[in-house]
Amino acid sequence: MNSYKGMTYTIRKDGRLMKKKQFKGQFYYLYSDNEKDLYNQYVDLNYKLNNNKFIQKSDTLFKDYAKEWFELNMSSREIATQQSVKNRIKHINEYIGYMKLSEIKPNHIQKIVTEMEKQGLKDVTNRTLMDCKRIFENAVNNDYIEKNPAKSITKIKYTKGERKPLTLEEDEKVLSFAPTHKYGLFILVSRYCGLRPEETVALTTNDVNLTKKQITINKAVSLVKNQPVLKATKTLKNRVVPIPDLIFNPLKERLAYCNENGLQYIFTKEKDNSSMLTKSALKRHLSSFLKDLNKNSDKEIKFNYYQLRHSYCTMLYYANIGIKEAQRLMGHSSAKMVYDIYTHLDSERENSISSINDYLKSVVK
């Protein structure tokens, strides 16, 4: 516990200062980046509370409550998650930010959903609605309002676009072209080891065991603000994946180069080989790779980094890797996504009509 002019406060994990004040059974939270500002907030709060000038719960504006909710529930989450929620709350505030919590009705929430749906923001619309529900439910639990105005609003239904894997023909072209391209190894490792781009960026020479032909994924990066920031893996768990023989030699050569030149990270900036790749660099590299790949091709090949992971999962299916093992290799917290892909591939591979006719021929004489 730290102290400033007799005011005690705590330092959060994100480095900000926090002061908690209890008054007549209600808790108030103050945040700041420096002691002086936090102290001034504390003095002002005490004055308002002691002189009955503090705003009544029912008069609290949505934007103010949403800000407090975010500080208490989201500020310790991953940077990418924080930024996404911040952006959605900012959008909600455009509609109801300056309305009192007690004045907001279901129609106001429905309007947000309807307007966003018109803009074609299907997934974002549903995520925004879920944020509304969580914020208002929190307000109900803390006695700011009696009912959650977003509770009865339903998510919009839509068919998610399928993230298709590379075809066999595309796979062969990528595999044969990548070793000759300066950005090709990143594509190969992502595709044939099933890494997320944030995991491939964070790979160091110590993560690769050539003797055992394994890569250990024990960290990733956040690319929300372009510059990479190291973080834990998405599931907060480490995993080990095999290095297929077809990419072993290119990876071995890169490791030798890194060790000879004292490089920590396997994939680095071109002008600063001691630094990890940025978000903008990843986009440029993929664009360059695809442009060169398609230069003399009749049929254009297009994919993003996450399609390479989908291709990896498809490869695991055809290699007869079980769902649970595929889940582990891909680093998913649940088997649902792998199960969905496997089920889809099962339905494609099964020839129902042929199977039924063959069965009937065997039993009907």
| C-alpha distances out from residue 106 to 82, 95, 103, 148, Å | 26, 13, 10, 8
The predicted structure's pLDDT at residue 25: 76
356 pLDDT band, cuts 50/70/90, is: low
Could you give the count of Cα atoms lying within 13 Å of 120 in the half-sphere of its Cβ? 1
Distance CA 108, CA 126 (A): 15
349 pLDDT band, cuts 50/70/90, is: low
Model pLDDT for residues 246-303, shown as the tens digit of each residue? 999 999 999 999 999 999 999 999 888 889 999 999 999 999 999 999 998 888 999 9
Model pLDDT for residues 204-253, shown as the tens digit of each residue? 999 999 999 999 999 999 887 788 989 888 888 899 999 999 999 999 99
Strand partners, 9: 2
Name the nearest CA neighbour of 253 among 180, 192, 194, 200: 180
Q: Mention every residue, 6+ apart, whose C-beta is less than 8 A from residue 108.
A: 95, 96, 99, 149
